[in-house]
Amino acid sequence: MNIPKIVFSTTALIAFALGSAAARAQAQTRPDFSKIEIKTTKLGTNFYTLEGLGGTTGVLVGPDGVFMVDDQFAPLSGKIVAAIKQISDQTVRFVVNTHVHGDHTGGNENFGKTGAVIFAREELRDRLMHPLPAANGTPGTPAPAAALPLVTYEGIVKLHINGEVVELIPIPRAHTDGDTMIYFPGLDIIMTGDFYRSIQYPNIDRANGGTLNGLLDGLGVVIGLAGPNTKIVPGHGPVVGRAEVMANRDMILAVRDRLAQLISEGKTQDEVLAANPTSDYDARVPNSKETTQQEPCREDRTLAGARRCCGGRTLGGPRGAATGGGRLVLLPEGHTDASTRCTIPAVGGGPVAEKNSVSGGFADASFSWCAFGVVLFRSARLLRADAAAANAGARRDR
């Protein structure tokens, strides 16, 4: 029996609201967008992917105009247009956003001003209009009118364009609460956005409405639609097939169950993470050991180490709740946050204090198994609490 190499999606980041000079000193530099090249790959008769910086863009070309999935960062719009001109003489007529993060929606304003009609979930439009505040409390900046989707939806939307049927399939509360999967049945191609990524560990952006169960349900939809030859284009990472998505789903279930067992034994969050519940997956997760920086606290991957690294701060509770001077915030790609944050890198690294350097996102950063574990720990704990409440209600009803 051949077991496929496991290719895992997304990243997560544990962030603290910090203001120390030492943390600021480790800020990343803003990417030089002028040096970014757009890589064009043909996947079907008239379908291409465009890779630059941020999420993968998909384009369906033909006489009806260009249908585009996601538009990366605003400074790359000109390069994206130039790349499209190499494969089509048509303009971008439609854009669909897979989710709200800035490395997927950053070009909305530019393409909206040229007349493109933007499609997205209602939840995504609302979050663009009312973005979350930064971790330091600074209000988010609402997206300009030209960047907002003109067409929103709750159910499946079908477009008939360029000789193909395109299905926009809502995936509720997965990576975020506004996710959409795009299915091209005639081409046998699926684009997932970031609820599936073929590199690093999963990212459940709870601050923007993401949930563990929703992520698993979304992976189930992909698996159900995909056939033996389906090309699955993730939000980040190489194109994969059905087997890789199944392996990703199975990994999440396995780690969730391990965490649930540890929680049932009364283990604390620190103890759960110190047990390294993903140890047998780390070697099979592409880029799992990468981190944006390796200093300081290189050898200590525990949350206690993170506290020492980050000036004695402690983890907080749910988003917005402070505990011991610290606050737990999940910061995904595209989150417009200019505050300092502390990450816990993957195996072999240590907690790192750093600062968001890209307005609208930090797509090149790769983060830790610890953050993935925290999300699952908290999700499992919340699930158990919900189940206990439901059981208590059922007993009262009897």
DSSP per position, 123-144: HHHHHHHSPPPPTTSPPPPPPP
CA atoms within 13 A on the CB side of 373: 29
Give CA–CA dist 377/256, Å, rounded.
8
What pLDDT is stored for residue 277 in this prediction? 81
What pLDDT is stored for residue 314 in this prediction? 31
What average pLDDT does the segment 271-287 reach? 80
What pLDDT is stored for residue 102 in this prediction? 93
Residue with more model confidence, 95 or 305? 95
Give CA–CA dist 259/336, Å, rounded.
31
Cis before 332 (ω within 30):
no
Residues 6+ apart with CB under 8 A from 170: 121, 153, 154, 155, 156, 179, 180, 181
What pLDDT is stored for residue 125 in this prediction? 98
Four-CA torsion 385, 390, 396, 398, nearest 10 degrees: -140
Does the pLDDT at position 270 exceed 50?
yes
In the block, residue with structure tokens 């990472």: 237
The predicted-structure confidence for 307-357, as pLDDT tens digits, reads as follows 333 333 333 333 322 222 222 333 333 333 333 333 333 322 333 323 222
180-194: b (≥16 Cβ within 10 Å) or e: bbbbbeebbbbbbbb
Residues 6+ apart with CB under 8 A from 266: none
Q: Name which of 12-16, 47-51, 368-372 the model is least confident about.
A: 12-16
Identify the H or E element spanning 21.
helix 21-24
Distances (CA, A) of 132 to 58, 72, 99: 27, 20, 15
Give CA–CA dist 135/1, Å, rounded.
48
pTM (2 decimals)?
A: 0.73
Q: What is the token pair recorded at 371?
A: 């953050």
Q: How many C-beta neighbours within 10 Å does residue 163 have?
A: 12
Give the SS3 label for residue 323.
strand
Give CA–CA dist 42/65, Å, rounded.
17
What average pLDDT does the segment 201-216 reach? 88
Does the pLDDT at position 98 exceed 70?
yes
Indicate the average pLDDT of the chain. Answer: 74
What pLDDT is stored for residue 347 in this prediction? 26
Give CA–CA dist 84/60, Å, rounded.
10
Q: What is the token pair recorded at 123?
A: 């939840």
Domains and CATH numbers, the chain: 33-254 (3.60.15.10), 261-386 (no CATH)
Percentage of the chain with pLDDT > 90? 49
Does the pLDDT at position 231 exceed 80?
yes
Give CA–CA dist 330/305, Å, rounded.
19
Does the pLDDT at position 108 exceed 80?
yes
What pLDDT is stored for residue 267 in this prediction? 84
What pLDDT is stored for residue 339 in this prediction? 34
Give the length of the chain.
398
